């Protein structure tokens, strides 16, 4: 899995997160398909952040980069 592909997919999601005062940073891409991200800004303390991570970030990443197995917050 190419880290640049993951970053490009995150860049597609970023405007929606920034519109709500948040952001996401790519921390790590593992060989076994795990993407670790850090939620930033308003996303970091938001009670809906797990829903955003699962239904937003992870869904888009898996569509754009099929090798992604799961997304984990750090």
Please give the domain boundaries of the chain with CATH numbers for all domains. Answer: 3-73 (3.30.300.130)
Q: Taking residues 7-35, what's their average pLDDT?
A: 94
Is residue 73 within 8 Å of residue 24, measured between CB atoms? no
* pLDDT for the residue 35: 97
Q: Is a pLDDT exceeding 90 seen at residue 30?
A: yes
pTM: 0.90
Give the model confidence (pLDDT) of 44-72 as tens digits: 888 888 888 888 899 999 999 999 999 99
Higher pLDDT, 55 or 73: 73
């Amino acid at each position: 899995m190419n880290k640049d592909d993951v970053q490009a997919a995150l860049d597609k999601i970023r405007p929606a997160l920034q519109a709500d005062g948040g952001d996401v940073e790519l921390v790590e891409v593992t060989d076994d398909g795990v993407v670790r991200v850090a939620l930033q800004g308003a996303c970091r303390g938001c009670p809906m952040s797990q829903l955003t991570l699962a239904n937003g970030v992870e869904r888009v990443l898996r569509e754009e980069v099929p090798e992604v197995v799961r997304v984990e917050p750090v």
